[in-house]
Amino acid sequence: MKKRIVVFTGAGVSADSGISTFRDADGLWANYRIEDVCTPEALRNNREQVIEFYNMRRKESLTKRPNAGHLAIAAMEEWTDVCVVTQNVDNLHEQAGSSRVLHLHGELMKLRSERNPELIYDINEGWEQDIDARGEDGALLRPHIVFFGEDVPMFDTACRIVAAADILIVVGTSLAVYPAATLVYYVRDRQVPIYLVDPGNPDTAMIRNPLTHIKERGAVGVPQLLKQLKDELAE
Ligand code: OAD
pLDDT exceeds 90 at position 181: yes
pLDDT exceeds 90 at position 173: yes
Whole-Å CA distances, 149 to 38, 40, 183, 185: 9, 7, 18, 22
Q: Which of 91, 97, 93, 95 is nearest to 109 (CA)?
A: 91
Mean pLDDT of the region 154-161: 98
pLDDT, position 88: 98
Are the CB atoms for 148 and 38 separated by under 8 Å? Answer: yes
Pocket around ligand 1 at a 6 A CB cut-off: 10-12, 15-16, 21-24, 27, 38, 87, 105, 146, 172-174, 176-177, 198-200, 202, 217-218
pLDDT, position 124: 87
- Residue 1: pLDDT band (50, 70, 90) is confident
Are the CB atoms for 76 and 26 separated by under 8 Å? Answer: no
Map out the domains of the chain with their CATH numbers. Answer: 1-18+66-105+152-235 (3.40.50.1220), 20-63+109-145 (3.30.1600.10)
pLDDT, position 235: 83
Q: Which of 205, 218, 203, 199 is nearest to 25 (CA)?
A: 199
- Measured distance CA(214)–CA(197) in Å, rounded: 5
- Measured distance CA(202)–CA(69) in Å, rounded: 18
**How does the average pLDDT of the chain come out, rounded?**
96
56-72 pLDDT per residue, tens: 999 999 999 999 999 99
Q: What amino acid positions are annotated as catalytic residues? A: 105
Are the CB atoms for 117 and 154 separated by under 8 Å? Answer: no
Instruction: For ligand 1, atom 32, name the residue with the nearest CA.
Output: 87
Instruction: For ligand 1, atom 35, name the residue with the nearest CA.
Output: 22
pLDDT, position 123: 95
pLDDT, position 215: 98
- What is the per-residue burial (b if ≥16 Cβ within 10 Å, else e) of 142-158? bbbbbbeeeebebbeeb
- Could you tell me the distance, in angstroms and rounded to a whole number, from the CA of residue 29 to the centre of ligand 1? 11
182-235 pLDDT per residue, tens: 999 999 999 999 999 999 999 999 899 999 999 999 999 999 999 999 999 998
- Could you tell me the distance, in angstroms and rounded to a whole number, from the CA of residue 76 to the centre of ligand 1? 22
Determine the residue of 23, 154, 184 to mutate for testing ligand 1's pocket, defined as the one with the most ligand atoms within 8 A of the Cβ atom: 23
pLDDT, position 87: 98
Determine the residue of 21, 105, 108 to mutate for testing ligand 1's pocket, defined as the one with the most ligand atoms within 8 A of the Cβ atom: 21
Mean pLDDT of the region 103-110: 98
- Could you tell me the distance, in angstroms and rounded to a whole number, from the CA of residue 132 to the centre of ligand 1? 31
pLDDT exceeds 90 at position 155: yes
Mean pLDDT of the region 95-111: 98
- Could you tell me the distance, in angstroms and rounded to a whole number, from the CA of residue 148 to the centre of ligand 1? 15
* 3-class secondary structure per residue, 114-177: CCCCCCEEECCCCCCCCCCCECCCCCEEEEEECCCCCCCCCHHHHHHHHHCCCEEEEECCCCCC
26-60 pLDDT per residue, tens: 999 999 999 999 999 999 999 999 999 999 999 99
